[in-house]
Amino acid sequence: MNRLSLNQKTVNGCSLPEAVVACTRAGITSIGVWREPLHDLGVAAGAALVADAGLHVSSLCRGGFFTAHDRAEVLADNRRAIDETAALDADCLVLVVGGLPLGSCDLPAARARVADVLAELAPYAADHGVRLALEPMHPIYCADRGVLSTLAQALDLADPYDPTVVGVVVDTFHVWWDPDLERQIARAADRIASFQVCDWITPLPADTLLARGMMGDGHIDFRHIASLVAKAGYTGAVEVEIFNADVWRDDPDTVAATVVERFAEHVLRPEPVMGG
């Protein structure tokens, strides 16, 4: 259970201090921090708060949006995000790479842009001891959020870099449907920088950005994917990250308690050891 991390987005209405309290009360020892509430408090104060609470920071969310028009601003903002990741001593900086530029249908060009910006940022991350974590996004978000659509594509993109500098995120919501998942998770091996869980629910809510469910409410076989990730050698934190309007309306302590319960029931309940 000490591998469970609460991604701050799951208690979206909370300030960083409130999210830290919710973790502490629920006995959760790791947190995934988001930049906006971190900025609200100030980076140094936020880093001190989390450290004083004894919480491990499993990720900072998020950098990326490499496909945006203003390249200089993209680079500047991502360098700030790298600095913040170092300040928090977080395991990684999660990168959501961005969708198609406004008005463009040129998907190969957008993907080339992502590779290009990554090449410029990776040395800066390495210099600051920060691990970048490329997050393949469900193809539902390809147009408007992330042109990185599969784990295979993320691994191809990460390939030129040291795994301690450029890793990947395995998020069950984004990858569960992938017919090539077993092979690609095995291939990912020590590039797995973050493992995030939430469920795929149907019918999808009207706002598909908020279509993520509490584990057990949808269609994903978490234990199967967790076992693939374990077999690949990943032993780090498992973040629960849920974008869902109903979850966000609940009291944070209730949400955190439900996360603990569902995590034990659906994600890391030990499987029986097989003979032989």
Cβ-defined contacts of 197-203 (< 8 Å, 24+): 197/171, 197/172, 197/173, 197/222, 197/226, 197/238, 197/239, 197/240, 197/241, 197/263, 197/267, 198/171, 198/172, 198/173, 198/240, 198/241, 198/242, 198/243, 199/172, 199/173, 200/172, 200/173, 200/176
Q: Which of 84, 135, 171, 178 binds a second copy (CB under 8 A)?
A: 178
Of 105-113, 126-134, 227-235, 246-254, the window that binds a second copy (rule: CB under 8 A) is 105-113
Phi and psi for 106 in degrees, rounded to 5?
-95, 85
Token digits for 226? 């967790």
Q: Which of 1, 51, 204, 245 binds a second copy (CB under 8 A)?
A: 204
Per rule CB under 8 A, is residue 180 in the interface with a second copy?
Answer: yes
Which residues, numbered 132-171, are part of the site for a second copy (CB under 8 A)?
Answer: 138-140, 142-144, 149-150, 152-153
Considering the complex, what minimum distance in angstroms separates the CB of residue 253 from a second copy? Answer: 28
Per rule CB under 8 A, is residue 75 in the interface with a second copy?
Answer: no
Token digits for 48? 């001190």
Count of residues in contact with a second copy, rule CB under 8 A: 30
Q: Which of 65, 66, 161, 200 binds a second copy (CB under 8 A)?
A: 200
Which residues, numbered 16-55, are part of the site for a second copy (CB under 8 A)?
Answer: none
Considering the complex, what minimum distance in angstroms separates the CB of residue 97 from a second copy? Answer: 12
Q: Give CA–CA dist 254/247, Å, rounded.
A: 9
Of 6-14, 40-48, 83-91, 174-182, the window that binds a second copy (rule: CB under 8 A) is 174-182
